[in-house]
């Protein structure tokens, strides 16, 4: 990720996780991606993967909304 080193990316992942306790958020130093795994009931293999931190929250909300709408059916 241009301009952001691994340590800063790990700190960003930690902050995102603290602000979103329903998710486990890690930064993969080899993949250079943010990986987010739900702590709430979700189909096996459900996760959010994003290269940039700005993409994480919208994708997390998309998964939450999709799962919520499926529960309402």
Phi-psi region of 63 (alpha: psi -120 to 50; beta: other; left: phi over 0): alpha
Domain with 28, as residue range(s), is: 6-72
State the total domains in the chain.
Answer: 1
Does 20 map to a domain? Answer: yes
Alpha-carbon span 47 to 36, nearest angstrom: 5
pLDDT at 9 over 80: yes
Mean pLDDT across 7-19: 98
Reported as a single tens digit per residue, the pLDDT across 29-72 is 999 999 999 999 999 999 999 999 999 999 999 999 999 888 77
- Is 34 among the domain residues? yes
21 close to 39: Cβ distance less than 8 angstroms: yes
CA dist., res. 21 & res. 15, Å (int): 10
Q: Is residue 64 part of a domain?
A: yes
**What pTM, to 2 d.p., does this model score?**
0.89
Q: Does 21 reside within a domain?
A: yes
Distances (CA, A) of 53 to 24, 28, 39: 14, 12, 19
- 31 within domain boundaries: yes
């Amino acid at each position: 990720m241009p301009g952001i080193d691994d340590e800063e990316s790990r700190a960003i992942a930690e902050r995102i996780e603290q602000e979103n306790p329903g998710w486990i958020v890690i930064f993969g130093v080899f993949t250079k991606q943010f990986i987010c795994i739900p702590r709430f009931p979700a189909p096996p293999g459900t996760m959010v993967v994003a290269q940039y931190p700005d993409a994480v929250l919208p994708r997390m909300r998309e998964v939450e909304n999709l799962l919520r709408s499926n529960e309402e059916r």
